Amino acid sequence: MIIVMRTGSNRDQVDAVSNRLIELGYKTNPIFGVEKSIVCAIGVPEYDKMEAADQLRSLDGVDDVVFISKPYKFVAKELRGKTVVDVDGVKIGGDEVVMMAGPCTVESEAQLMTTAEAVARGGAKVLRGGAYKPSTSPYSFQGMGLPGLELLKEAGRRFNLKVITEVMHVRKVEEVCEYADILQVGTRNAQNYDLLREVGLSKKPVLLKRGMTARLEEWLLAAEYIASAGNERIILCERGIRTFETHTRNTLDLSSVPALASLTHLPVIVDPSQGTGRRELVPPMSKAAIACGADGLLVEVHPNPDKAIKDGVQSIDIKAYEKLMPELGQVAEAVGRSLGIPVRV
Amino acid sequence: MIIVMRTGSNRDQVDAVSNRLIELGYKTNPIFGVEKSIVCAIGVPEYDKMEAADQLRSLDGVDDVVFISKPYKFVAKELRGKTVVDVDGVKIGGDEVVMMAGPCTVESEAQLMTTAEAVARGGAKVLRGGAYKPSTSPYSFQGMGLPGLELLKEAGRRFNLKVITEVMHVRKVEEVCEYADILQVGTRNAQNYDLLREVGLSKKPVLLKRGMTARLEEWLLAAEYIASAGNERIILCERGIRTFETHTRNTLDLSSVPALASLTHLPVIVDPSQGTGRRELVPPMSKAAIACGADGLLVEVHPNPDKAIKDGVQSIDIKAYEKLMPELGQVAEAVGRSLGIPVRV
Amino acid sequence: MIIVMRTGSNRDQVDAVSNRLIELGYKTNPIFGVEKSIVCAIGVPEYDKMEAADQLRSLDGVDDVVFISKPYKFVAKELRGKTVVDVDGVKIGGDEVVMMAGPCTVESEAQLMTTAEAVARGGAKVLRGGAYKPSTSPYSFQGMGLPGLELLKEAGRRFNLKVITEVMHVRKVEEVCEYADILQVGTRNAQNYDLLREVGLSKKPVLLKRGMTARLEEWLLAAEYIASAGNERIILCERGIRTFETHTRNTLDLSSVPALASLTHLPVIVDPSQGTGRRELVPPMSKAAIACGADGLLVEVHPNPDKAIKDGVQSIDIKAYEKLMPELGQVAEAVGRSLGIPVRV
Amino acid sequence: MIIVMRTGSNRDQVDAVSNRLIELGYKTNPIFGVEKSIVCAIGVPEYDKMEAADQLRSLDGVDDVVFISKPYKFVAKELRGKTVVDVDGVKIGGDEVVMMAGPCTVESEAQLMTTAEAVARGGAKVLRGGAYKPSTSPYSFQGMGLPGLELLKEAGRRFNLKVITEVMHVRKVEEVCEYADILQVGTRNAQNYDLLREVGLSKKPVLLKRGMTARLEEWLLAAEYIASAGNERIILCERGIRTFETHTRNTLDLSSVPALASLTHLPVIVDPSQGTGRRELVPPMSKAAIACGADGLLVEVHPNPDKAIKDGVQSIDIKAYEKLMPELGQVAEAVGRSLGIPVRV
């Protein structure tokens, strides 16, 4: 931690800063520059002193407090190699790129089973589908709830797929744990700390979507909430951020994939459906995601997108999915990985 | 609702769109332009057809679906005059601009009582203070919890102030209702629909902060969640949005204040502390907020900001607060309102 | 300048950084922390070493280079008191808040003279009007050019108003200087360094609009281009930044006004017309701008906004202007300033 | 064009809108809905009526004007197949993905020739290098100017590379045309209409970078400035947009690549160096760019990035470039294209 003093700050102010740092357990090293002075604080990790930094910032004569180490520990790269999240045999973060596919929302048994059969046949290892759905409008469909969860579990069993579904309510975590193999925390709940802790207390793998307004560090701190509650089986999912661009629903920030690789040991996957909001962009952005190192994809597939209850506009149909999978397999091969399906030569 | 067809769409596609609209209860009116055709849907409010719009968007030949009416009803301006939220005699949304002031976080009895006494003396009508605090880092202070609520209630009673405090957890709404006069929903929970519904089921006035990434319409839809659950005593609070600018913690979007006046009947207040993250900007932005029509302010005041546990850097001290209040009174007078305190002539 | 080393960097890497700094004329002070080491560079202003910082950033073992002083000098607050730009007797940056008003675009003699007469009568000191107009589309009206300039000069002479108009082309700076009292550099040219230098070489006061994507520091560096070319008669103009919000054309960042007051000695005015893109927001945001310390306003006024060639939707009509001015006068009084017009008591 | 009337607008207002549209050459079709009325304008392309739309927006009773066709014509997809820009035999927009590589800035003969030799050997077809450099700070290096251009031309000749370099000043377009094969217009000049027209009048291919704050439509309108001046040999270059994320210098919006494919016939390339600002992200994002359909790449390569005058932190060294090229070739093959170099099997 470096405390930068304002131009014109005096010796007493520098001393006051030093003394406060010493109270906090730091060793200090003040440096008197030509224009400015600074005080360096050494010896205590910064994630243990978040409030202290805030307090220092408002001491007389202080211009800024600059962090030089990371504010998180469990999810930080520095401590270890890459984590592979093992979901009963499906390994996320290993050599294989894992496809998670399925409808935005579970609508009916027929819709789900048709989709599940197709995505399994195409090579997906995980079935996605919403039973509890967040919606910006209270008048939009909010999901089937428990019957949706039951259908997901049955589809997973029948087609040998792991199941991922979103959990939105702390009071439903236990229920969702009974039916899903991976708990998904959505972008709107990316700073719902109550929910983050609750899924952290569960034993299930958690897929944590990026908050639509989250910087990488804030995203990692959200993951740290889960990890510090005892659950380190976390998969990060880039799903686009909010920017001024309106052509796409979000701006898919693929550079987060390689950037996170140097910041955290957690696996990172990409959701090109939410990330673009346009089905015609899903295939090219899926390829791009794999090309820059994503450990998996989360893709919306629907047997009849034009009749989908939600987000049909960003869902690809089964035919498009079947065409896409071998193309993705080739891109995976090109970057030294595999999609776990046969590749045409 | 207007359905814009792609260039080159054919008659069959237009008919398919019309038929779907008719199924949905609309009357339709197709128009064949030189470059493009459109189909107008008439007769059903759009907030009742959110999914339908989504489905239409993915029909063959459809380029876009344009809404021409608002997606919310309870909070819409069109239905009525301005709402005054009456908090046991303190009226928010009337002629008087209401000051809500107090520490970011309740830290101790001494800290809270000192502040409460000062803010009451200066003319504030509402005491703010956090007992449950959201923090980006799991290692930051998370608030005193219940003992903090008890102190707030006691301070309110002692100094004749209404009390506002944040509620973050659905499982704590009942508890917070026992101690607070106004429930605050913070920016991180602005799309936590579970919480929005829960406070909507309570009988308490709710202060709803703008999500840091919320467009005005999304903010109003969050309010609609509360209103549609049965609680229309809602106060909106502008607190800044996230932009590329890093000098300030957020970008305080004051234009939302007059803009909302034409979109909703709900009162709007401003939080210049969170909105700027810098205490020296609180006084000028408080004045600006009143000048452009805010119904109130939410300001962080601390007896010793340099020792504050949280956000001291954006808290003004008691002396600054005492200087500020009569200045705000003068600005209020200049725009034909009052702060409910004597004004120097 | 502080050079933060990566975790695990070794002594040789720290020495290499130190040696490079010494070559650059700095004294150095390496500090070996628990997790990280840093090297402090002392003795040379940072604005003289912009490339050096860039180079240092890519040395082995370097994680980041943190600036601790400002990268500009002529426009920095630290060197002096507030600058008053004197435009032949009209003082911008003094006690009086200066109103600049007029049409977005000069359309005809009748339109301009009607407007000029009205704005002068209402208390404006400066007439605004576009002769060369930037437009996002090549098919939009690009302004009258030279005849427009002639009309502006004549209107200024006739109604005793100073004239401000935009200059877009380096090859037209000389021409515009002949007709205008203040050169305006628009948001699209806020990083057109060729133009910034050219107006810096002129002797005219320059109004520099904020780039729609400029952080405060970048805006000040644009001003530094003008100042370092020899022209320090610069007026900054906040005109909104681009954000995700689409209700307003831009997001008017009024907090820049008091923020700049501590960063620069230059006067700051506000353009609520461009800043909001909605005429009904111009009066409240004009009041807010004065309340938070703006030294002036730049407001679009048109005798018949519904027939305006450009931007009528953000122009107020003469009646609205006449109603607004005394209201602004009252807000100015409330913050201890004046609009230079009689105030109703 | 659809004119949406406000709730409560009356018949006279609708008639006034219709009459204005008829004056403008449109046929009209008013539709009276339950909540709102609309007027459809048919028969004249919207790019010819940009001001008209603005005027209509401010008529009494008008709520909004909605465009339903594109505001550009020369660059619009609808008119034709994909354009291949042929730079003396190097075809951009064809099957082959074209690598453009070289230093950010020309620093010396040795630096440039070393780099040019290496990039040619590795398979690049175009040499990039800045002779005139835009810099946020006036105190940063501004480029070698004419001697830099001479070196570029010589390097191109010697190693059989086409040359691309930035032109910043209208008064230098002619000079740069003498030395370069492709004129680059940078992000800061993306709305410098004077410069756009000037390069439009030249006969040279133009690479137009995306403005850092440009929506796709605005970017295409900037291209339309060039095209409407007579030069349709335009290459678009995605280089990242400005967002709240600070980890990367910009947010590289790769989804623009496939999105533009449906909006325009122009080729699109990607600059991962500027787009991320971090050299370690250049290889993965280069692969991603090719995977989602980019027609080429613009990559900064420097023989010794740690000593680069500018932007060394985002430049890869020659070794990294040599490793990258065959990897890119494999990704190109995986998506059915080629990099024009031998691919290892």
Query: DSSP labels for D188-218?
Result: GGTT-HHHHHHHHHSSS-EEEEPPTT--HHH
Spatial CB neighbours of B222, under 8 Å, sequence gap ≥ 6: B190, B191, B196, B208, B211, B214
Residue closest to A158 by CA, chosen among A127, A191, A187: A127
pLDDT band (50, 70, 90) for residue D28: confident
Query: Which pLDDT value is given to residue D79?
Result: 60
Residue closest to D170 by CA, chosen among D132, D131, D208, D197: D197
Contact (CB<8Å) D42/B29: no
Lowest mean pLDDT among B107-116, C54-63, D262-271: C54-63
Q: At what angle do helices D318-334 and D109-122 cross, to 10 degrees?
A: 30
Secondary structure E strands in chain D? 2-5, 27-32, 37-42, 62-66, 85-87, 90-92, 98-102, 126-128, 162-166, 182-185, 206-209, 234-238, 268-270, 296-300
pLDDT band (50, 70, 90) for residue B77: confident
Q: Is D45 in the B-facing interface, judged by CB distances under 8 Å?
A: yes
Q: Which two tokens stand for residue C288?
A: 């807010």
Query: Which pLDDT value is given to residue B321?
Result: 98
Spatial CB neighbours of B266, under 8 Å, sequence gap ≥ 6: B75, B83, B93, B223, B234, B235, B236, B260
Spatial CB neighbours of D331, under 8 Å, sequence gap ≥ 6: A291, A331, A334, A335, D287, D290, D291
Please tell me which residue, D264 or A2, carries the higher pLDDT value. D264
| Residues paired with A96 in a beta bridge | A338
| Residues paired with A333 in a beta bridge | none
Per-residue pLDDT 10s for chain C (345 aa) are 888 888 778 889 999 989 888 888 888 888 887 667 888 888 777 666 767 777 788 788 888 887 777 788 889 887 678 999 999 999 999 999 999 999 999 999 999 999 999 999 999 999 999 999 888 888 888 899 999 999 999 999 999 999 999 999 999 999 999 999 999 999 999 999 999 999 999 989 999 999 999 999 999 999 999 999 999 999 999 999 999 999 999 999 999 999 999 999 999 999 999 999 999 999 999 999 999 999 999 999 999 988 888 778 899 999 999 999 999 999 999 999 999 887 654
Segment (H or E) for C99: strand C98-102
The answer to whether D180 touches D164, Cβ cutoff 8 Å, is: yes
- Check the CA dihedral B270-B276-B280-B285 and report its sign: negative
Subunits adjacent to chain A (3 or more Cβ pairs under 8 Å): B, C, D
Phi, psi at residue B271, to the nearest 5°? -110, 95
Tell me the mean pLDDT in the region D5-32.
Answer: 86
pLDDT in tens, D140-174: 888 999 999 999 999 999 999 999 999 999 999 99
Per-residue pLDDT 10s for chain A (345 aa) are 888 888 778 889 999 989 888 888 888 888 887 667 888 888 777 666 767 777 788 788 888 887 777 788 889 887 678 999 999 999 999 999 999 999 999 999 999 999 999 999 999 999 999 999 888 888 888 899 999 999 999 999 999 999 999 999 999 999 999 999 999 999 999 999 999 999 999 989 999 999 999 999 999 999 999 999 999 999 999 999 999 999 999 999 999 999 999 999 999 999 999 999 999 999 999 999 999 999 999 999 999 988 888 778 899 999 999 999 999 999 999 999 999 887 654
- Interface confidence (ipTM) of the complex: 0.92
**Facing residue for D47 by CB, picked from C137, C170, C188:** C137
The answer to whether D305 touches D316, Cβ cutoff 8 Å, is: yes
Taking CA atoms, what residue in D is nearest to A217?
Answer: D247
| Residues paired with A85 in a beta bridge | A92
Query: Which pLDDT value is given to residue C1?
Result: 80
Phi, psi at residue D28, to the nearest 5°? -125, 160
The answer to whether D92 touches D269, Cβ cutoff 8 Å, is: yes
Question: In this structure, what DSSP letter does residue A301 have?
Answer: B
Residue B75, classed as helix, strand or coil, is coil
Query: Which pLDDT value is given to residue C96?
Result: 97
pLDDT in tens, D36-95: 788 888 877 766 676 777 778 878 888 888 777 778 888 988 767 899 999 999 999 999
Using CA atoms, how far residue C86 sits from B168, C83, C93, C119, C181, in Å, is: 54, 9, 9, 20, 11
Q: State percent of chain D over pLDDT 90.
A: 69
Question: Of A111, A136, A280, which to mutate for an interface test with B (greatest number of B Cβ within 10 Å)?
Answer: A136
In this prediction the pTM is 0.93
Gyration radius (Cα) of chain D, Å: 23
Gyration radius (Cα) of chain A, Å: 23
Distance CA(C238)–CA(C245), nearest Å, equals 17
Tell me the mean pLDDT in the region B141-146.
Answer: 91
Q: At what angle do helices A11-23 and A50-57 cross, to 10 degrees?
A: 160
Query: Which pLDDT value is given to residue D344?
Result: 56
Phi, psi at residue D176, to the nearest 5°? -65, -35
Spatial CB neighbours of D141, under 8 Å, sequence gap ≥ 6: C51, D105, D133, D135, D309, D310
pLDDT at residue B153 tops 70 = yes
| Residues paired with C206 in a beta bridge | C183, C234
Query: Which pLDDT value is given to residue B82?
Result: 92
Residue C249 CA to its chain's centroid (Å): 18
Interface A–C counts its CB contacts (< 8 A) at 57
Burial of B241 (0-12, 13-18, 19+ CB in 10 A): buried
pLDDT at residue D197 tops 70 = yes
Q: Is A335 in the D-facing interface, judged by CB distances under 8 Å?
A: yes
Contact (CB<8Å) B42/D29: no
Tell me the pairing of strands A126-128 and A98-102: parallel
Secondary structure E strands in A293-341? 296-300
Which residues 193-252 on chain B approach chain C with CB closer than 8 angstroms?
213, 215-217, 241, 243-248, 251-252
Instruction: Indicate the average pLDDT of chain B.
Output: 92
Residues of chain D contacting residue C139, judged by C-beta atoms under 8 Å apart = 47-48, 50, 71, 228
Query: Which pLDDT value is given to residue C142?
Result: 86
The answer to whether C183 touches C199, Cβ cutoff 8 Å, is: yes
Tell me the CB-side half-sphere exposure of residue C114, using CA atoms within 13 A.
15
The answer to whether B256 touches C287, Cβ cutoff 8 Å, is: no
Distance CA(C284)–CA(B86), nearest Å, equals 25
Q: Which two tokens stand for residue B299?
A: 């300001």
Long-range contacts of C156-161 (CB under 8 A, 24+ apart): C156/C116, C156/C127, C156/C181, C158/C113, C158/C116, C159/C116, C159/C117, C159/C119, C159/C120, C159/C127, C160/C120, C161/C116, C161/C119, C161/C120, C161/C124, C161/C125, C161/C126, C161/C127
Distance CA(D339)–CA(D325), nearest Å, equals 8
AA identity, residue D48:
D
Residue closest to A183 by CA, chosen among A95, A216, A172, A96: A172
Distance CA(D301)–CA(D116), nearest Å, equals 9
AA identity, residue D94:
G
Segment (H or E) for D46: none
Residues of chain C contacting residue A45, judged by C-beta atoms under 8 Å apart = 34-35
| Residues paired with B30 in a beta bridge | B39
Residue closest to A139 by CA, chosen among C335, C313, B225: B225
Q: Which domains does chain A have, with CATH numbers?
A: 2-67 (3.30.70.1140), 85-334 (3.20.20.70)
Distance CA(A169)–CA(B192), nearest Å, equals 9
Distance CA(D213)–CA(C215), nearest Å, equals 12
Query: Which pLDDT value is given to residue A42?
Result: 80
Subunits adjacent to chain C (3 or more Cβ pairs under 8 Å): A, B, D
Distance CA(C254)–CA(A131), nearest Å, equals 44
Q: Which two tokens stand for residue C219?
A: 């805006």
Residue A3, classed as helix, strand or coil, is strand
Distance CA(C127)–CA(C87), nearest Å, equals 12
**Facing residue for A51 by CB, picked from B60, B141, B191:** B141
pLDDT in tens, B162-188: 999 999 999 999 999 999 999 999 999
Taking CA atoms, what residue in D is nearest to B77?
Answer: D7
Q: How many CB atoms lie within 10 A of CB A307?
A: 14
Give one DSSP letter per residue of D123-151, joined into a string.
Answer: T-SEEE-BSS---SSTTS-----HHHHHH
| Angle A289-A294-A299 from CA coordinates, rounded to 5° | 65
Using CA atoms, how far residue D200 sits from C120, C266, D2, D14, D71, in Å, is: 42, 38, 33, 42, 19
Taking CA atoms, what residue in B is nearest to D7?
Answer: B78
Phi, psi at residue C28, to the nearest 5°? -125, 160
Residue closest to C194 by CA, chosen among A105, A5, B248, D195: D195
Q: Match 């929970």 to its residue by tokens.
A: B189
Residues of chain A contacting residue D259, judged by C-beta atoms under 8 Å apart = 247-248, 278, 281
Q: Is A25 in the C-facing interface, judged by CB distances under 8 Å?
A: no
The answer to whether A343 touches A333, Cβ cutoff 8 Å, is: yes
pLDDT in tens, B208-227: 999 999 999 999 999 999 99
Contact (CB<8Å) C137/D189: no
